[in-house]
Amino acid sequence: MFTGIVEDTGTVASVESTDDGRRLRIETAELSGFEHGQSISVSGVCLTVEEYGENWFSAFTAAETLEKTYLGELDAGDVVNLERALPADGRLDGHIVQGHVDTVTEVVAVEQVGEDWTFTFALPDGYERYVAEKGSVALDGISLTVADVDDDAGTFDVAVIPTTYELTTLSEKSAGSPVHVEVDVVAKYVERLDSY
């Protein structure tokens, strides 16, 4: 489990493609102490550390992961958000994030408002009911609060503070950029319970 509080951004150092998927080697300036088998969120996708060194790790992305995410489009030099799994005694500063990406959407617009930014995203088909004003959503692994939903336009907005903008890959996003979406798992369970 993750919190959606990005610890660092990492750079894809190399990509190895095989018949079964892709292996990513990611370098990071801030994170270390990796372990074999450890879970790590890579732009919102829960991956497993295979090999590692002082400030790098490699992880394999299977075909199913590549079908549901944009990790298949990453190349050497691309930047990703990184978060290690939440320890049992850790702080839950964001919201419950599983690292199980539901779908990919895209940035519709980015507007700077004073020191903050408003990001507008396309409401992903089939997931509209899970995106609620003042609700939580994980975008590229970042825990964010939905500021507004425009059902007629098929979009939703999030307000991004300077710290989040500077410390995550959002600063590199523009209209048309792909973004991983994980809707709030609590909303899914509420819907499931309501069906009985």
Task: Give the residue numbers annotated as catalytic, written as ranges.
Answer: 2, 39, 46, 48, 62, 100, 145
Distances (CA, A) of 16 to 27, 57, 98, 181: 15, 13, 26, 25
Distances (CA, A) of 45 to 21, 99, 124, 149, 182: 15, 5, 17, 24, 9
Which one-letter amino acid corresponds to residue 55? N
Distance CA 129, CA 36 (A): 38
